Amino acid sequence: MTAAVVERGLYLDGEWVETGEWLEVRSPYDGSLVGRVARGGAVEARTAVDAAAAAMREPLPAHKRAEVLVRVAGALGRRADEAARLISAEAGKPLKAARVEVARAMSTYTMSAVQARTLAGQVVPMDASQAGEGKMAITLRLPIGVVGAISPFNFPLNLVAHKIAPALAAGCAVVLKPASQTPLAALFLAELEADAGLPPGWLNVVVGPAAEIGDVLVDDERVRLITFTGSGSVGWKLRERAARKKVGLELGNATPVIVQGDADVEDAAARCAANAFSFAGQSCISVQRIYVQRDVYDAFKGAFLPRVQALTVGDPADEETDVGPLISPAERDRVLAWVEEAVAQGGTLLAGGSLDGGLLRPTVIETPSADAKLSCEEAFGPVCTLQPYDTLDEAIALANGTRYGLQAGIFTRDLATALRAGAELEFGGVTVNEAPTFRADQMPYGGTKDSGNTKEGPAWAVREMTEERLVVVQL
């Protein structure tokens, strides 16, 4: 835990602003007070949009935007321990996972700086048609306008970075609403951006009631794009309500993994065990449904379960902890109820299913029924299912048997099988011989079906955040 209670104002138009009311940030592990943040609302959100719109009237050249981004990456490196402890304290994320998140946020800023320096339009080959003869044409990539960004609690630093760093690279000012449970990492990034020389107005952070701030982002016409990461129930409604804006959604998943009989079973078991329970399964691509070909099923189970049982459950501030708390007792109880439902419907409990000092132990359920929530909905907890299959057709059908489509994985040594899975798994990304929890920050990342409608990763995000304008010249 961080030693002292952090106190932060909102970050509006380059100033730290207090509102006279405070929101408390408490540790999901032991309820201790981690910080206090000024409570904003519609008034502060409107001020933030005013500031962002005003900032964009004086565009910042790309090289200056890139320099700020590079400086923030450097500052994150120098203050990595502080950042990791802040994430761990407010999100209850084990320190070792929080340290990985900080390193990834550095990468997100670095890759965004590359985009700031290289993003460009195209030359259109006009004489390719008779109509274009005697003309030249180019496209310009222009900032879309003010970006409204809404982020979730589970990666409070790097998922904020995935919104605000590409937005700056694209030349857009941002109004950010971070998750109420984890606003401190976002405000920490605002401090780093200010220290890096970001002029006022380019980044504004408003913490407070979600619907109130969300309504301003939806209703204000100057906000031209909303980038949202979080649950589908909130995300799809936002998109319906903001019909005339671009709304990018990064939502949930019920992540499947297929282990073929020809796979390196030990390696597959190790990667699945490491990626089903990290941050107590609260990653949108946490391994959740593991399907193993019947001839290697026992071997996989024998390699997997001891690794699950060896995970250390406990205080997220302890360097040895693998699995900490869920974000709230209500979430823990929901996940436990899903486990109980799966067992009541015929699944077999192979590990966990009980509490350890109030924390849910890593839990494995064998062969739950097809309509158990754990078989198709997003668990978002330290729980996974294990199930044998006979043919690849059957495994692909099982993996696709969800309304979600963010990432999926397959373990196989056969190239044709890998390529077939890549083509037939209905997900935005397919990993081969790696858990589908894998993400490097330069990758295109985003889902299909109910998992979303866009791709993040700086090179993709800057395209979403810019508009292409055609300029045709008669020679």
Measured distance CA(252)–CA(428) in Å, rounded:
12
Measured distance CA(10)–CA(12) in Å, rounded:
6
Place of tokens 């979403």: 464
Tell me, yes or no, if 250 is annotated catalytic: yes
Q: Kindly state the smallest distance separating residue 207's Cβ from ligand NAP, in Å.
A: 8
- Piece of the chain touching ligand NAP by CB under 6 A; list 65-73, 248-256, 261-269, 384-392: 248-256
Kindly tell me which residue out of 47, 88, 112, 154 binds ligand NAP, with binding defined by CB under 6 A: 154
Catalytically annotated residue among 44, 250, 366, 464: 250
- Piece of the chain touching ligand NAP by CB under 6 A; list 116-124, 172-180, 188-196, 362-370: 172-180
Residues 438-457 that bind ligand NAP (CB under 6 A): 452
Measured distance CA(398)–CA(407) in Å, rounded:
14
Instruction: List beta partners, residue 128.
Output: none
Instruction: List beta partners, residue 162.
Output: none
Select 141 or 162, whichever has its Cβ closest to ligand NAP.
Answer: 162
Select 47 or 229, whichever has its Cβ closest to ligand NAP.
Answer: 229
In 3D, which of 316, 307, 293 has the Cα closest to residue 399? 293
- Piece of the chain touching ligand NAP by CB under 6 A; list 95-103, 137-145, 176-184, 261-269: 176-184
Residues 282-301 that bind ligand NAP (CB under 6 A): 284
Measured distance CA(173)–CA(48) in Å, rounded:
10
Select 70 or 190, whichever has its Cβ closest to ligand NAP.
Answer: 190
Query: Is 115 within 8 Å of 437 (Cβ atoms)?
Result: no
The reply to whether 101 sits near ligand NAP by the rule CB under 6 A is: no
Select 35 or 452, whichever has its Cβ closest to ligand NAP.
Answer: 452
Q: Kindly state the smallest distance separating residue 255's Cβ from ligand NAP, in Å.
A: 10
The reply to whether 156 sits near ligand NAP by the rule CB under 6 A is: no
The reply to whether 380 sits near ligand NAP by the rule CB under 6 A is: yes
- Total number of residues binding ligand NAP (CB under 6 A)? 28
The reply to whether 252 sits near ligand NAP by the rule CB under 6 A is: yes
Measured distance CA(200)–CA(47) in Å, rounded:
12
99-105: long-range contacts at Cβ-Cβ below 8 A with a sequence spacing of 24 or more?
101/155, 101/157, 101/158, 102/76, 102/157, 102/158, 104/158, 104/439, 104/441, 105/76, 105/157, 105/158, 105/161, 105/189
Q: Kindly state the smallest distance separating residue 211's Cβ from ligand NAP, in Å.
A: 4
Catalytically annotated residue among 44, 101, 193, 284: 284
Select 389 or 460, whichever has its Cβ closest to ligand NAP.
Answer: 460
Select 47 or 255, whichever has its Cβ closest to ligand NAP.
Answer: 255
Kindly tell me which residue out of 65, 177, 239, 373 binds ligand NAP, with binding defined by CB under 6 A: 177
Residues 178-237 that bind ligand NAP (CB under 6 A): 178-181, 210-211, 214, 229-231, 234
Tell me, yes or no, if 58 is annotated catalytic: no
Q: Kindly state the smallest distance separating residue 435's Cβ from ligand NAP, in Å.
A: 16
For the chain, the distance separating the N- and C-terminal CA atoms, rounded to the nearest angstrom, is: 66
Measured distance CA(92)–CA(107) in Å, rounded:
23
Q: Which residues contact residue 67 at a Cβ distance below 8 angstroms, ignoring those fewer than 6 apart?
A: 113, 196, 197
- Piece of the chain touching ligand NAP by CB under 6 A; list 52-60, 76-84, 107-115, 173-181: 173-181
The reply to whether 378 sits near ligand NAP by the rule CB under 6 A is: yes
Residues 316-355 that bind ligand NAP (CB under 6 A): none
Select 202 or 404, whichever has its Cβ closest to ligand NAP.
Answer: 404
Residues 131-150 that bind ligand NAP (CB under 6 A): 150
Select 150 or 165, whichever has its Cβ closest to ligand NAP.
Answer: 150
Which residues are near ligand NAP by CB under 6 A?
Answer: 150-155, 159, 177-181, 210-211, 214, 229-231, 234, 238, 250-252, 284, 378, 380, 406, 452
Write out the catalytic residue numbers.
Answer: 250, 284
